[in-house]
Chain A
Amino acid sequence: MDIFHNMQLGFSVILSPENLVYCFLGCLVGTLIGVLPGIGPLATLSLLLPVTYKLPPVSSIIMLSGIFYGAMYGGSTTSILVNIPGEAASVITCLDGHQMAKQGRAGAALGIAAIGSFIAGTISTVGLNFLSPILVVAALKFGPPEYFSIMTMGFVATMFMVGGSALKALLMIALGLFVSSIGIDVVDGTQRFTFGFSNLMNGADLVAVIMGMFGVSEILINMEEMAKREIFTSKVKGILPNRKDLRDSALPILRGSLLGFVFGVLPGAGNVTASFLSYSMEKRFSHYPEKFGTGVIEGVAGPESANNSAVAGAMIPLLSLGLPCNPVTALMMGALIIHGVQPGPMLIIRHPEIYWGVIASFYVGNVMLLILNLPLIGIWVQFLRIPYRILFPLILLLCVVGTYSTNLNIFDIWVMIVFGVLGYFLRKRDYELAPFILALVLGPLFEQSLRQSLILSVKEPMIFLHPISLTLLVISVLLLVILIWDRWKKRKGLV
């Protein structure tokens, strides 16, 4: 009964007029950026992070969560209509969604994406609701070695899950850890890699780094593709799928929801992997796998449900362990810390209104998104007609002002420019930025737990061999072995 009592608290938080407005704003902005290609949820969250400084912590996280799952909803629109994914998790939706649009069934594709997203979002929120408190109880037993081991597992899992080179992902993790170590050492006050800049004593500002890596580099990358952009001009008719569409999509939505939820919880996996795996799974379960890629509704229903379900799943490690398992939740963790709230097992005890309020906001947000996405699809389509040359100055200004407003310091704009250039060059050669951001945010906690564990190990040498820590380290090693074996097999042509 306790959980229902707590949910009552959560709903009393989200149903306050103020939080309802922030939830709605988050969903609205999220859908908008999901619709607009060229600016993903991470860049938007970093752009809007300074906006949340003036808000109470619970309102800011409700709004940021709304942007995250709103972007997942909106991302399908551009994939289906113009074959350009609004965000990475909607890449796979292009395959069948755009084919459906070409056959005059854009409405059905958009409709099933919204319905699937709603069902998946609700299923995974129920999972978040019940699983998260259980994990909190386990997390209370965690000490520095356990935190170190779980973060190590997260890093290895990230290497495992990224689409490209595992070595490049490892390099990005190391680079993120290095950047996170810049500034004064908390133990003995030594300045590390500050190069005499007093502004770097507190480290490179997180918002400036993220804004540069994702906002500025995104604009620079888009400069190369500006001419290739297709402007959507046709009209979308009939957004409600027919009975056969609904029947065909029922199981893919259910499977996508469960898969997405599991992959959301796993460190390093996230919504992109979930959507790709859901597509493969649907193809395997299908009676007509050869038709996938030609406009099959299951190819839209499954992945769109999976990527939405992963959002609520990803909140579990953040809220219960204080560990973000993807860059977006890493940024949310940053937002909570800025507000003086430490996510983790103590969050449910110290700030139950935040914990349960955020969970309840997922239910409310999903209903808002269904309303925003189904009847208002025509309005969202209008945004696809805005050329990028009009949008980019606004995005650039938001990057500059957003970065400046964090510390009211021009130096941070220089940091943003440096990381913007770095991000651009990295993306040019297919270096994934997600492992970098994950390591950057987790860096201080990773360093603290490793150093504390090593100090403790002087008295207790077997500290890393405690059951939880050992299990996590063994999983990490196994993942690493599987990763190397898999790549080796591919190289040798065994698969």
Chain B
Amino acid sequence: MNFSFLGGERCGMTLDERNTPEERMNLHEQVYNIVWILLGIGICTESIRLKLWDVSWGPGPGFIPFLAGFFIGGTGLLLFISESSKGWEKKRPEPFWQDPTTRKRIFYILGGLCAMALLMPILGFLLTSILITSFMLRVIEPQKWLAVIAISLASCFLVYWLFFSLLQVSLPKGLLGV
């Protein structure tokens, strides 16, 4: 059975007409669908271990996660079948990131965030945020050092003032005490 009618908008065409290069099976999409199927199986397995039904309490702790897992895996499977029905793409699939610069930027942002989470308890909020935002500003779209430092200091002190001074949120102090 073809379930693609729930997924895309492929009006009034025969299978061959539908399978224009853009409408052929997308490899990235299939990777996503496989992840959903595996995630669904994982959640259902763990939910069964947690207990789906208890004689005295009724639905057990695994009941809702099992339902969620069933729908995640089941929907992933339907999407997989729907995508497979489009047929194989003959040419090489388009890269996930069209532009290598974008990929670099994404990794810089994520790397910066991870570094922030790691360094904040050691260096404190202010120092960590100044270092990381300066790094991001410098590498993501290279700017002059003066601009980098000015934007970084302004952003960090604004957030520090808002949360620490105004809202009295206790921010990590680190070794330097700020």
Residues of A within 8 A of B (CB): 50-51, 53-54, 165-168, 170-171, 173-175, 177-178, 181, 185, 187-188, 190, 192-193, 216, 219-220, 223-224, 226, 389-390, 392-394, 396-398, 400-401, 404-405, 408, 410, 413-414, 416-417, 420-421, 424-425, 428-429, 443, 446-447, 450-451, 454-455, 458, 484, 487-488, 490-495
Any A CB within 8 A of the CB of B176: no
Selected contact of B75 from candidates A167, A425, A451, CB within 8 Å: A167
Question: How far is it, in angstroms, between the C-alpha of A50 and the C-alpha of B98 when the chains are bound?
Answer: 37
Q: Which of B59, B72, B169 contacts A175 (CB 8 A)?
A: B72
Does B129 lie within 8 Å of A405, measured CB to CB? no
Return chain A residues, CB-CB under 8 Å to B106: 220, 223, 424
Closest to B62 in A: A192
- A487–chain B nearest beta-carbon distance, Å: 4
Contact (Cβ within 8 A) B121 A410: yes
Further 10 A-B residue pairs, CB within 8 A, beyond A190-B50, A400-B113, A490-B5: A175-B68, A178-B72, A190-B51, A192-B65, A216-B113, A389-B137, A393-B151, A405-B167, A484-B5, A487-B6
Q: Which residues of B lie under 8 Å from residue A405 when comparing CB positions?
A: 163, 167, 169, 171
**Cβ-neighbour of B5 out of A401, A417, A454, A488 (below 8 A):** A488
Q: Can you name the residue of chain B whose Cβ is closest to the Cβ of A443?
A: B64
Kindly list chain B residues whose C-beta atoms are within 8 Å of the C-beta of A450: 59, 64
Flag B1-31 by CB within 8 Å of A: 1 or 0 each.
0011111111111000000000000001100
Q: Is B102 in the interface zone, CB < 8 Å from A?
A: yes
Q: Using Cβ atoms and an 8 Å threshold, which residues of chain A touch B155?
A: 393-394, 397
Structural contact, A397 and B46, CB atoms closer than 8 A: no
Select which of A177, A417, A488, A492 is within 8 A of B117 by beta carbon.
Answer: A417
Q: Report whether A389 and B61 are in contact in the complex, using a CB–CB cutoff of 8 Å.
A: no
Interchain CB contact (< 8 A) of A177 among B68, B76, B109, B169: B68
B156, CB-defined interface residue at 8 Å: yes
Q: Provide the residues of chain A in CB contact with B79, threshold 8 Å.
A: 165, 167-168, 171
The interface residues of chain A lying within 8 Å CB-to-CB of B143 are 389
Indicate whether B48 reaches chain A with its CB closer than 8 angstroms: no
Q: What's the minimum C-beta distance from A232 to chain B, rounded to whole angstroms?
A: 19
Taken residue by residue from 147 to 178, chain B's Cβ proximity to chain A (1 for < 8 Å, 0 otherwise) reads as 00001100110110011000111111000000
Question: Once the chains bind, are B28 and A429 in contact (CB under 8 Å)?
Answer: yes
A454 engages B59 (CB within 8 Å): yes
Least CB distance from B178 to A in Å reads 14
Closest CB-CB distance, B44 to chain A, in whole Å? 11
Chain B nearest CB from A168 CB (Å) reads 7
Contacting B68 at CB < 8 Å: which of A181, A397, A458?
A: A181
A398, B161: Cα distance in complex, Å: 12
**Chain A residues positioned under 8 Å from B114 (CB to CB):** 417
Encoded as 1 (CB less than 8 Å from any A CB) or 0, chain B from 56 to 80 comes to 0111111111011111100110110
Given contacts A167-B82, A493-B12, contact A401 B125 (CB under 8 A): yes
Contact B113 A417 (CB under 8 A): yes
A residues near B141, Cβ cutoff 8 Å: 226, 389
Chain B contributes a number of interface residues (CB within 8 A of A) equal to 78
Give Cα A24 to B53, complex, Å.
51
User: Bound state CA distance, A397 and B78, in angstroms?
Assistant: 40
B159 touches A401 (CB 8 A): yes
Contact of A397 among B43, B63, B159 (CB under 8 A): B159
User: Which of B11, B97, B117, B158 is within 8 Å of A414, CB to CB?
Assistant: B117
Contact between B151 and A390 (Cβ–Cβ < 8 Å)? yes
Neighbour of A173 across the interface among B70, B71, B162, CB < 8 A = B71
Residues of B within 8 A of A404 (CB): 120, 171-172
B123 within 8 A of A: no
B172 lies within 8 A of A398 (CB): no
Output the nearest chain A residue to B112 by Cβ-Cβ distance: A396
| Shortest distance between the CB of A184 and any CB in chain B (Å) | 9
* Residue of B79, B96, B159 ringed by the most chain A CB atoms within 10 A: B159
Looking at the assembled complex, report how far the CB atom of B3 sits from the nearest CB atom of chain A, in whole angstroms.
Answer: 7
| Contact residues in A for B11 (Cβ distance below 8 Å) | 490-491, 493, 495
The 8 A-B residue pairs with the shortest CB-CB distance in the complex, in nearest-first order: A493-B12, A174-B71, A185-B61, A178-B68, A491-B5, A455-B58, A393-B133, A190-B61
Q: Are B12 and A492 closer than 8 Å at their CB atoms?
A: yes
**Do the beta carbons of A223 and B32 come within 8 Å of each other?**
no
B41: Cβ under 8 A from any A Cβ: no
Q: Which residues of A lie under 8 Å from residue B38 when comparing CB positions?
A: none
Is there an interface contact between A393 and B5, defined as CB atoms closer than 8 Å? no
Whether the pair A421, B32 counts as a contact (CB closer than 8 A) is no
Knowing A187-B61, A396-B113, say if A429 contacts B29 (CB, 8 Å). yes
Are B116 and A178 neighbours in the complex by a CB distance under 8 Å?
no
Tell me whether B7 and A171 are in contact (CB under 8 A). Answer: no
List B contacts of A168 (CB < 8 A). 7, 75, 79
Contact yes or no, B151 A181, CB < 8 A = no
- When A54-B167, A393-B133 are in contact, do A223 and B105 touch as well, CB less than 8 Å? yes
- Say how far B27's CB is from chain A's closest CB, in angstroms: 12
Contacts of A396 in B (CB 8 A): 109, 112-113, 133, 136
Closest partner residue, chain A, to B51 (CB atom):
A190
Q: Name the distance in Å between B40's Cβ and chain A's nearest Cβ.
A: 8
| CB < 8 Å neighbour of B171 from A392, A401, A421 | A401
Given contacts A171-B71, A220-B106, A420-B113, contact A192 B6 (CB under 8 A): no
Task: Tell me whether A170 and B29 are in contact in the complex, defined as CB-CB below 8 angstroms, given that A389-B140, A491-B5 are known contacts.
Answer: no
User: Which residues of B are found within 8 Å of A188, using beta-carbon distances?
Assistant: 54, 57, 60-61
Most buried by A among B99, B113, B136, B140: B113
Contacting pair A170 B71 (CB below 8 A): yes
